[in-house]
Structure 1
Amino acid sequence: MHSSVYDTAHTIADAMLAGPPDPGGVAARMAAVLGDAPPWLHDVARDAIARFGARWAAVEPGDLTRLVAEAPGFVAAWRSDSPPAIVRILPRPAVQRPLPAALGALDLPQWATPGDLADWLGVAVPDLEWLADRWRVAARGSETPLHHYTYVAHDKRSGGCRLVEIPKGRLREAQRRILHGLLDRVPPHDAAHGFRKGRGIVSFAAPHADRAVVIRFDLADFFASVSAAKVHALFDTLGYPVEVVRTLTALCTNRVPSARLLAPDLRDRFDWIGRQRYRERHLPQGAPTSPALANLSAFRFDMRLAALARSLDATYTRYADDLAFSGGAVLTRATEWMTVRVAAIALEEGFALQLRKTRVMRRGVRQRLAGVVVNRHPNLARDEFDTLKAILTNCVRHGPASQNRDAHPDFRAHLAGRVAHATMLNAARGMKLQAIFDGIAWDAGDSGA
């Protein structure tokens, strides 16, 4: 589209959106910016309202700009001896829309413009634009001082690679403010147990205790699968104006530079699909906002899977990328059909299952979810207890440094966390482990690598 054509169509579109979607008013605003009222204005107004009227306040200006520029009347006028000319500008007002009824009780920050968001974050508007990568630095080069992320690759125990995208200081601080000031106030679906205060692995696994069959699924590349479009839709649902939605989306998503993906340490770690996923804007694993945004962006996914579970007299919960279903005779008979349905729903919602990690666990085998055994009640697996007991015993006998094979920076805190987790699942076993832990002699240098 020629720039002058686009600019004219864009200005007309802004004027159309500067008021409610009634045909006379829309046509009048178009006439005001053109200083003329040719007949084709009414045709464009009717077409725009028919296509976008139901969501007028949330319409992307680019969508309406294309409608104007491709309208037969506009095209004919542009090719005439007197093409449309702008004589004044009617900007779209920046107004935060009311929340949907289901979210109406939420107390959310009010940001009518990116400037309001910048003031709330405590940064200047140019700095906000830089943090939101308005200059598209992220797509160029690799890890220069102007880039907002550093990248660390970790091998997964199950195979493959996890790319951790770590935001630098100023962006990380802005993301933390958005997390605590906005996202923490928006509840995810009740089936979501990861990254939530008062929820965790035990609450995720407990509803599946003492069931005839437990089925576990795993999502591939959970964070990277949440696209910028989903994040944009979430912020739009919260009622923010288009420019604020765009800025929030840009602050909370990232695209990995191609040069970084092709660097020696990453070149052979991802297939073509994986590289393409990281090249597009997505939730970066490592950003403070990503866990909450992933939960909220998966709301419809959780809702559909919960409905599927109810249709089979079953229970559904999710912990990050781990999905769990459990039930009785109805689910037992429908396991194959349900696996196909879960895979289909995942694809429709932008996710994909790692089918090789799917497990159908009937009552006669050990039923395990996220390390928790649920055959009778949530419990610590015996092999995990034995392994942790052996590590703690060797720490007492040979010193903690001898057992820190994975070079944990704070090995003491790591072991304390594992003991606390074991105690939460099985108090008696946890007390035995705690007694051994208390007998470890910690020197100043033993907590690190």
Structure 2
Amino acid sequence: MLISSIEYKQLRYLTYHRDVVKFDNYNRYTIPKKKGGVRNIAAPKKVLKGVQRKILDEILKNKIKISDSANGFIKGRSIVSGAEKHKDSNVELLINMDLENFFPTITFERVRGMFMKFGYSGYVSSLLAMICTYCERMEMEVKGENVYVKTSERILPQGSPASPMITNIVCSKLDNRLNGLASKYEFTYSRYADDMSFSFNKGNKVLDDAKDSLNVGKILGIISKIIKEEGFSINEEKTKFLRKNNRQAITGIVINNGEIGVPKKWVKNLRAAVFNGSKLIENGSILPCDLVSEIKGKSSWLSCVNRERYLKIIEECEKIIRFKG
């Protein structure tokens, strides 16, 4: 057995690959992106998902130390912990970047190479990489039968329990190199999945635009070079430069003035929901379930982000939630 309770024959079955197949091991669907377009999700079916989870638990976990800069898909880390790395009242410039086509960029070859670095043979690494990757397929009817036709090379699926850890392992060298650069030039770097952030405090030599100095343009060139050398590319359209006099946010978490929080508009909307709930209670009316759910969800998120800062409104939310029972 390669993995506990998983027979070799079952692994061979799950790694069966043809350009045209009659059975698909994935449930495929799309979800809309915030700024237009769709994201392709491939969720493995029960048997394959179970094997992928075993690979995660028995092979991938604890195989390599994940960089402190990585904040996605790791126990005890989140978008909040990522933002906290940058909270400083002296942050003069925040640069947010996005890695383009993040999951599709992690191909079968890269995943196979990862397993080989763990000491597995080329053959076993290929089997494991086949299980952890998939190819896009289009459903068609041929001679009265439904078949699934390959439309891409094998890539990392969004929806597999093993994929998040694989992304962090594949990105470990990228993170280490950018950490080294950050240490050398005294700025802060963090990554949450494909979202990368770089913050520079007031007085940092990178912000000195004097002739012959290492300015922002030059440091961005070095960052871009490292990203390219590590097999990724930057989505230039999503790169943002946020000065201190603007709202500085990382994955939706605001970091201005050395304190993390949420956008003011977000809090304003919650206050409106709390006001409406309080009025309904005063009038002896029934609280709509969707209103209570909104208040409960948002107050819970505020507690995660910065309970001390938003304590007053959180307590108002909790009164309404308790009243609903």
Q: TM-score, normalised by structure 1?
A: 0.61
The Cα shift of 1:331 comes to 2.7
1:298 matched residue in structure 2: 171
User: Match for 1:390: what amino acid?
Assistant: A
Match of 1:174 among 51, 57, 67: 51
Distance (Å, rounded) in 1 between the aligned partners of 2:100 and 2:277: 36
Larger helix proportion, structure 1 or 2? 1
SS at match of 2:125: helix
Distance (Å, rounded) in 1 between the aligned partners of 2:274 and 2:99: 33
Distance (Å, rounded) in 2 between the aligned partners of 1:389 and 1:163: 35
Q: How many residues align?
A: 296
Query: Structure 2 vs 1, CA of residues 393 and 373 (structure 1 numbering), >3 Å: closer, same or farther?
Result: same
Q: Does 1:356 align with 2:234?
A: no
- CA deviation profile, 1:344-373 (whole Å, cap 9, x unmatched): 332322222121211111222221111111
Residues 346 and 352 of structure 1 are in contact (CA less than 8 Å); yes or no, is this contact kept in structure 2?
yes
The Cα shift of 1:201 comes to 1.4
User: Match for 1:312: what amino acid?
Assistant: Y
SS at match of 1:324: strand
Structure 2 residues without counterparts, runs of 5 or longer: 141-149, 209-214, 281-285
Structure 1 residues without counterparts, runs of 5 or longer: 1-115, 261-275, 404-410, 444-449
2:259 matched residue in structure 1: 377
Larger strand proportion, structure 1 or 2? 2
Distance (Å, rounded) in 1 between the aligned partners of 2:288 and 2:101: 34
2:212 matched residue in structure 1: none
Residues 190 and 196 of structure 2 are in contact (CA less than 8 Å); yes or no, is this contact kept in structure 1?
yes
Structure of greater Rg: 1
Match of 2:305 among 425, 429, 449: 425
1:218 matched residue in structure 2: 98
SS at match of 1:166: strand
Spell out the pairing of 1:240-319 with structure 2 (5 A cutoff).
240-259=120-139, 279-319=152-192
Moved more, 198-207 or 247-256: 198-207
Q: TM-score, normalised by structure 2?
A: 0.82
Distance (Å, rounded) in 2 between the aligned partners of 1:377 and 1:254: 42
The Cα shift of 1:183 comes to 1.6
Distance (Å, rounded) in 2 between the aligned partners of 1:183 and 1:399: 47
1:193 matched residue in structure 2: 71
Residues 212 and 363 of structure 1 are in contact (CA less than 8 Å); yes or no, is this contact kept in structure 2?
yes
Spell out the pairing of 1:41-80 with structure 2 (5 A cutoff).
none
SS at match of 1:217: strand
1:330 matched residue in structure 2: 205
SS at match of 2:85: helix
How large is the Cα RMSD of the aligned pairs? 2.5
Distance (Å, rounded) in 2 between the aligned partners of 1:292 and 1:256: 21
Query: Structure 2 vs 1, CA of residues 258 and 335 (structure 1 numbering), >3 Å: closer, same or farther?
Result: farther
The Cα shift of 1:421 comes to 2.4
2:85 matched residue in structure 1: 207
- CA deviation profile, 1:291-311 (whole Å, cap 9, x unmatched): 000010011111222222223
Match of 2:228 among 347, 356, 360: 347
- CA deviation profile, 1:125-164 (whole Å, cap 9, x unmatched): 22211112x2x14x325xx5x2110111111012221111
Q: Does 1:128 align with 2:11?
A: yes
1:22 matched residue in structure 2: none
SS at match of 2:136: coil
SS at match of 2:43: strand
User: Match for 1:378: what amino acid?
Assistant: I
Query: Structure 2 vs 1, CA of residues 395 and 190 (structure 1 numbering), >3 Å: closer, same or farther?
Result: same
The Cα shift of 1:393 comes to 4.8
Residues 299 and 317 of structure 2 are in contact (CA less than 8 Å); yes or no, is this contact kept in structure 1?
no
SS at match of 1:343: helix
The Cα shift of 1:401 comes to 5.0
User: Match for 2:11: what amino acid?
Assistant: L
